[in-house]
Structure formats: C-alpha cells, structure tokens
Amino acid sequence: MHLELIQGLFRKTSPIFANVEYATTQVPTYPCGQIGFLMCCKTDGKTPDQCRDPVRKPPEDMPLHYYSNELHSAAFVLPAFVARAIAKVKSEKGSQKT
C-alpha cells in the first residue's frame, strides 16, 4: 500500500541522508496489518547499510518477548513489489549523480 508515498519520501530524504532504508513489521491490530518505517542515517563510514544494524542491543539479561536482533534485520526483507519500487527510486538517485 502507498507505494507512491514511500517512493516520494525516498526521493525527498535521499539528498539529505547518506543512507535511507525502508523496513516493515506486522501489527495485526493495524488496519492493513503492516506498518512501514523509513530509516534515515547519516554516514559514519562503517557500512553502506548501517540503518539495518541496531545501534543499541538489549542487554542479554532482559527477557524480551518479541524483539530480537534477527527480527530487526528481517524487517528489511521486503515484499518483492516494495523492493522493486524502492530499487526504482534508488536507481533514479544513482543516475542523477552521473
């Protein structure tokens, strides 16, 4: 849903931030069951996809029922149609640099 909105946000934030990524999670009580997050990061030179790496990890003695580092990373595995829409915007950004 709202692919045009997601693409527009990518276009507006990409010139401002070094790395822009989109993630999703499932929330059964939300009207369509899925919520998306636009993650924007300034670069620190470590890795091109640093938005995907959790900045802070929960202490090992904190018993979380839902969140895990693996779940965090999996949030960036997108449905194919969303990945294609985002790839289109990223390729536009790349072609503008040349």
Q: 21-71, pLDDT tens digit by residue?
A: 899 888 878 777 788 888 888 776 556 566 777 777 788 888 888 888 888
Cβ-Cβ contacts under 8 Å for 48 (sequence gap 6 or more): 19
Read off φ and ψ for residue 69, nearest 5 degrees. -60, -35
Beta strand segments in 1-98, E: 19-26, 34-41
Tell me the pLDDT band of 97, cut-offs 50, 70 and 90: low
Burial 36-47 (b: 16+ CB within 10 A, else e): bebbebeeeeee
The residue type found at 83 is: A
Cα-atom radius of gyration of the chain, to the nearest Å? 15
Give domain 3-56+63-93's CATH architecture.
3-Layer(aba) Sandwich (3.40)
The yes-or-no verdict on residue 86 having pLDDT over 70 is yes
| Mean pLDDT for the chain overall | 82
Residue tagged 């996809």 (tokens): 49
